[in-house]
């Protein structure tokens, strides 16, 4: 087995073993339906709620720490365990970049009745932002536990009590690997906008992710990818991802935003090449 340290953010205590692709059995995708208990018993969620704020935007959310989820799922020393737990328990910094970009750019302000995919959603902040602006949203995260214990409660938390059962039907939730998720969706499902933050650290997943965008982004749609320019230790990052996207010949990518300081971060805007 070849393995190497995966230093996700460039800090010494944030490492993991990245296993060989061949040895990872990626989880199959399944739809996750909000249950009666989640819809009715909200007291516990509300008492633990925090606020994600950016300017005028306020998104209620809960986050769990690793001690509150299945101990077999997470490793207390790592933010990611490849193929097992992919980091959805916390909000990663590029989510803030993308929210800021979306609120400040006119071209990305038309959300009403749009079909949106929050890909690798974790807490679901990007999808909830779209939902609060009138979109129909599909939330996808690798881990079922993240969808059940964080994403769904977070969406519910942002709906008024009396509208909860009705409005949650505007959202759909899936867990599992991107390749399997793509197969699981009905053939005709297409998204106007795909939002994804901090999902391109592992180059082994680029083919799946790019194929998903090719297959599921509508011909006039746009995908926004917020990520670090370089993820230390694995070689993934926006440059590598952009090169792979452009290599397809059917998608094109451009950098629409760059961070000014700190660890370099970017936002890529991806479209179908017009034929």
Binding site for ligand SAM (CB under 6 A): 26, 86-88, 91-92, 94-95, 120-122, 141-142, 177-178, 197-199, 205
Cβ closest to ligand SAM, residue 115 vs residue 154: 154
Considering only CA atoms, which of 38, 157, 17, 142 is closest in space to residue 84? 142
Cβ closer to ligand SAM: 150 or 156?
A: 150
Please say whether the beta carbons of 86 and 55 come within 8 A: no
Nearest CB to ligand SAM, comparing residues 141 and 192: 141
Angle between helices 125-132 and 93-104 (to 10 degrees): 20
Q: Find out whether 237 and 229 touch, Cβ atoms under 8 Å.
A: yes
Tell the smallest beta-carbon distance from residue 26 to ligand SAM (Å): 6
Pairing mode of beta strands 171-175, 30-31:
antiparallel
Query: Any alpha helices (H) in the chain, and if so which ranges?
Result: 36-40, 43-47, 93-104, 125-132, 144-146, 152-157, 164-167, 178-184, 206-216, 238-247
Minimum CB separation of residue 40 from ligand SAM in Å reads 27
Minimum separation from the CB atom of position 165 to ligand SAM (A): 26
Q: What residue number has its CB nearest to ligand SAM?
A: 120
Which C-beta is closer to ligand SAM: that of 90 or that of 170?
A: 90
Q: Taking the complex as a whole, how short is the minimal distance between the CB of residue 177 and ligand SAM, in angstroms?
A: 4
CB of residue 118 vs ligand SAM: minimum separation in angstroms? 8
């Amino acid at each position: 087995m070849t393995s190497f340290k995966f230093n996700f953010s460039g800090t010494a205590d944030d490492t993991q073993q990245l296993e060989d692709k061949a040895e990872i059995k990626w989880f199959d995708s399944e739809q996750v339906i909000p249950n009666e208990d989640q819809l009715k018993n909200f007291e516990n969620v509300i008492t633990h709620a925090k606020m994600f704020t950016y300017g005028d935007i306020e998104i209620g959310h809960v986050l769990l720490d690793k001690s509150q989820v299945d101990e077999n799922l997470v490793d207390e020393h790592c933010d990611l365990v490849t193929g097992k737990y992919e980091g959805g328990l916390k909000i990663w910094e590029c989510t803030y970049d993308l929210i800021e970009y979306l609120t400040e750019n006119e071209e990305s302000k038309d959300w009403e009745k749009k079909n949106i995919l929050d890909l690798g959603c974790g807490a679901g902040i990007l999808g909830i932002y779209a939902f609060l602006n009138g979109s129909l949203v599909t939330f996808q995260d690798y881990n079922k536990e993240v969808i059940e214990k964080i994403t769904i409660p977070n969406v519910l938390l942002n709906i008024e009590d009396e509208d909860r059962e009705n409005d949650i039907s505007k959202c759909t939730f899936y867990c599992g690997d991107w390749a399997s998720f793509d197969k699981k969706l009905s053939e005709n499902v297409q998204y106007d906008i795909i939002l994804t933050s901090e999902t391109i650290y592992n180059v082994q997943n680029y083919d799946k992710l790019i194929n998903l965008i090719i297959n599921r982004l509508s011909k006039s749609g746009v995908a926004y990818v917020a990520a670090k320019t370089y993820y230390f230790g694995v070689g993934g990052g926006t440059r590598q991802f952009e090169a792979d996207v452009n290599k397809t010949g059917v998608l094109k990518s451009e950098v629409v935003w760059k961070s000014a300081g700190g660890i370099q971060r970017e936002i890529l805007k991806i479209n179908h090449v017009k034929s």
